[in-house]
């Protein structure tokens, strides 16, 4: 499996001008379909797992998920898969050696002998993201749709937030709140100061990891702007707990000019998926 696969000879030619974006994690699945002619999102669905799944179960879960929503036999002119996991490491491009990918991961994640290790580049920001994708998912998507691309969610999130902050010089802390997973991103003057992903079970875990990340950069939580997005809304438990310790709290709303039009009954769409469309 390469970063961008070559279409197999038996795959059907896409008969629609639609783009499919799929996000997979051990805690859940989601997808979004974009009509590329009208630049409108025509479908978006998600599934949250009651318990974290082992990696080998993801393919079965994804197969059932796509079949239930009747898109397993559709053709798309573009498909992208987003891998959301903690098996990644960010490396300055100047220090990156593509011949030694395992060395960037072995100190903070368990690598198996048959794990595929790949990398993305955060365009224009001199950052390389080295990670382990869910290979069984990639193989299944290739069999299903033929040619497709895949990236790690950290790559997409960092690139999108850095682009969102163009012109801003203040330090801002963003937190992407997922189901039992949180991604903390701290940016200053279009430079990435910190990105880390944590698994959490309670709101107390959440605030502990957030304050710990802020403390590592010696930032003042009473002044630092905190922008939350994902599975969070103003007034819920996580929002109120953040407000107790960090007064400058708000819900992050992406710039409308950068994203497709959508008005679906399902409500908000995952920022990472939205950023791939």
Mean pLDDT for the stretch of residues 226-249: 93
Two tokens, residue 195: 């990105």
Q: Does the pLDDT of residue 101 top 70, yes or no?
A: yes
Residue 269 pLDDT? 74
Q: Which domain holds residue 264?
A: 18-88+98-158+256-274
Are 107 and 218 part of one and the same domain?
no
Going 146 to 270 to 84 to 163, the CA torsion angle's sign is positive
CB count within 10 Å of CB 184 equals 19
The number of folded domains in the chain is 2
Once rounded to an integer, what is the mean pLDDT over residues 170-176?
94
pLDDT value at 261 more than 80: no
| pLDDT of the residue at 256 | 63
Answer yes or no: do 119 and 235 share one domain: no
pLDDT of 153 reads: 95
Question: For residue 4, is it within any domain?
Answer: no
pTM for the full predicted model: 0.89
CATH number of the CATH domain containing 186: 3.30.420.260
Does 119 fall in a domain? yes
Question: Which CATH number characterizes residue 53's domain?
Answer: 3.30.420.250
Give yes or no for residue 142 having a pLDDT over 90. yes
Q: What is the pLDDT of residue 9?
A: 39
Cβ-contact 183, 195 below 8 angstroms: yes
Q: Which residue carries 């880390």 as its tokens? A: 196
What's the pLDDT at 112?
80
Residues 43 and 115 in one domain: yes
Contact call for residues 180 and 85 (beta carbons, < 8 A): no
**Residue at 9 is within a domain:** no
Residue 275 or residue 167, greater confidence: 275
Give dist(CA 130, CA 121) in Å, integer: 9
3-class secondary-structure state, position 195: strand
State the Cα–Cα distance between residues 86 and 105, nearest whole angstrom: 10
Same domain? 53 vs 148: yes
Q: Count how many Cα atoms sit within 13 Å of the Cα of residue 252 in the half-sphere of its side chain.
A: 22
Tens digit of each residue's pLDDT (9 = 90 or more) over 34-72: 999 988 899 999 999 989 999 999 999 999 999 999 999
137 and 184 inside one domain: no
121 with 71, same domain: the answer is yes
- Residue 227: C-alpha distances to residues 8, 78, 161 (Å): 43, 31, 11
Query: What is the average pLDDT across 169-175?
Result: 90
Considering the domain architecture, whether residues 135 and 214 belong to the same structural domain is answered as no
Other beta carbons less than 10 A from residue 35's beta carbon: 16
Pair (67, 153) in one structural domain? yes
Mean pLDDT of 182-209: 94
Whether 41 is in a domain gets the answer: yes
CA dist., res. 58 & res. 151, Å (int)? 17
* Domain match, 239 and 263 both: no
Would you say residue 183 lies in a domain?
A: yes
For the record, the structure tokens of 51 come out as: 């318990």
Residues 132 and 260 in one domain: yes
The H-or-E segment that residue 243 falls in is helix 237-245
Enter the tokens of residue 6. Answer: 């070559």
Write out pLDDT tens, residues 77-92. Answer: 999 999 999 999 999 9
Gap between the Cα atoms of 193 and 195, Å rounded: 7
In a domain, 7, yes or no: no
11-20, 101-110, 184-193, 260-269, range with greatest mean pLDDT: 184-193
Both 145 and 260 in a single domain?
yes
Lowest-pLDDT choice from 68-77, 160-169, 238-247, 260-269:
260-269
- The reply to whether 31 and 62 lie within a common domain is yes
Confidence of residue 163 (pLDDT cuts 50, 70, 90): confident
- Within-domain flag for 151: yes
């Amino acid at each position: 499996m390469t970063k961008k696969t070559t279409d197999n000879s038996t795959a059907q030619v896409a008969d629609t001008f639609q783009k499919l974006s799929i996000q997979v994690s051990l805690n859940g699945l989601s997808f979004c379909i974009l009509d590329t002619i009208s630049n409108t999102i025509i479908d978006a669905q998600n599934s949250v797992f009651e318990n974290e799944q082992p990696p080998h179960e993801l393919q079965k879960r994804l197969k059932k998920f796509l079949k239930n929503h009747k898109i397993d036999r559709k053709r798309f002119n573009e498909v992208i898969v987003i891998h959301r996991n903690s098996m990644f490491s960010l490396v300055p491009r100047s220090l990156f050696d593509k011949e030694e990918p395992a060395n960037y991961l072995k100190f903070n994640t368990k690598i198996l002998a048959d794990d595929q290790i790949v990398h993305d580049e955060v365009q224009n920001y001199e950052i390389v993201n080295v990670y382990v994708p869910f290979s069984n998912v990639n193989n299944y998507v290739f069999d299903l749709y033929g040619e497709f691309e895949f990236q790690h969610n950290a790559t997409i999130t960092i690139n999108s937030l850095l682009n969102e902050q163009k012109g801003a010089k203040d330090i801002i802390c963003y937190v992407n709140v997922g189901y039992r997973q949180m991604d903390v991103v701290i940016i200053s003057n279009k430079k990435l100061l910190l990105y880390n992903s944590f698994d959490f079970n309670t709101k107390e875990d959440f605030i502990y990891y957030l304050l710990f990340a802020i403390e590592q950069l010696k930032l003042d939580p009473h002044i630092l702007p905190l922008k939350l997005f994902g599975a969070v809304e103003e007034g819920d438990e996580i929002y109120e707990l953040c407000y107790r310790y960090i007064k400058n709290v708000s819900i992050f709303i992406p710039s409308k000019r950068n994203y497709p039009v959508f008005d679906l009954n399902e409500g908000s769409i995952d920022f990472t998926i939205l950023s791939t469309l």
